[in-house]
A and B are shown apart, each in its own frame.
Chain A
Amino acid sequence: DPKQGNILSFFKQV
């Protein structure tokens, strides 16, 4: 099954 991605791997903290 595909693995759930994480928002933090796409958008970085500012």
Chain B
Amino acid sequence: MLELRLVQGSLLKKVLEAIKDLVTDANFDCSATGFSLQAMDSSHVALVALLLRSEGFEHYRCDRNISMGMNLNNMSKMLKCAGNDDIITIKGDDGSDTITFMFESPTQDKIADFEMKLMDIDSEHLGIPEAEYHAIVRMPSAEFSRICKDLSSIGDTVVISVTKEGVKFSTRGDIGAANIVLRQNTTVDKPEEATIIEMNEPVSLTFALRYMNSFTKATPLSSMVTISLSSELPVVVEYKIAEMGYVRFYLAPKIEE
């Protein structure tokens, strides 16, 4: 028996919009810790890790650890039928091959049930080691989205370099080249407008912009994004989900042959 009641149902809608273009089918895992997912894109270049902690739900019942295979496009279709202010409850019964999403309007005058078929998915679960990153950049998520979009009109890849000068996003393409440098800026009115750069060592890595642009679909989840870089590791692009957890995207760098 599974029953997860999320008062801020819009969070789940935003999570699906953030990941559904990257991953087609995925297993959602439910345990005492929370509702989580780990999945790679079909070419194994990017990985998404989602956690919605149990404490973030108004009611959280999960009698035993369970893994439920879902087609994210179908799940998104169903969640789009929930209003932005609706309370969403996810319900499942042991051994059932379906899951039910219940949408309640804030005034309780409309209650809808959507039943979705589950699927069997063979997925590999990867161990993500704790790592010391060479540089961690925290910046407004809308600014990061803007930079990725702007650069992708010039080139296909972005070089992200962190030095003591700041963080530089560079690209090059048939029509020319572009460089965008952000310096640390903490003298802003609101904390969510700050750019904070922690650097242990200078680092420079190249990534496919197509994936970065896909990650920025998580922008509505958080005003800030954290980009963690190390020369030996995939970059981590993290959007915190207020009070509940996070969606983290890992992207393997492009490597000189």
Contacts and interface: CB of A to CB of B under 8 A. Distances in A.
Given A10-B233, A11-B126, A14-B125, A2 B254 contact: yes
A6 B252 CA distance: 6
Nearest to B127: A14
B46 interface: yes
Interface residues of A, number: 14
Interface string A1-14: 11111111111111
B158 to A, nearest CB: 12
Contacts of B208: 4
Contact of B252 (A1, A7, A12, A14): A7
Contacts of B124: 8, 13
B127 A4 contact: no
A11 B234 CA distance: 9
B126 A2 contact: no
11 contacts: A2-B257, A3-B255, A3-B256, A5-B45, A5-B234, A7-B47, A7-B126, A7-B252, A10-B233, A11-B128, A14-B126
Contacts of A14: 125-127
A5 B126 contact: no
B253 interface: yes
Q: Which 3 A-B pairs have the closest CB atoms?
A: A5-B252, A2-B254, A11-B126
B206 interface: yes
B29 to A, nearest CB: 13
Given A5-B234, A7-B45, A13 B252 contact: no
B44 A7 contact: yes
Interface string B101-135: 00000000000000000000000111111000000
B246 interface: no
A4 B252 contact: yes
Contacts of B255: 2-5
A14 to B, nearest CB: 4
Contacts of B257: 2-3
B206 A6 contact: no
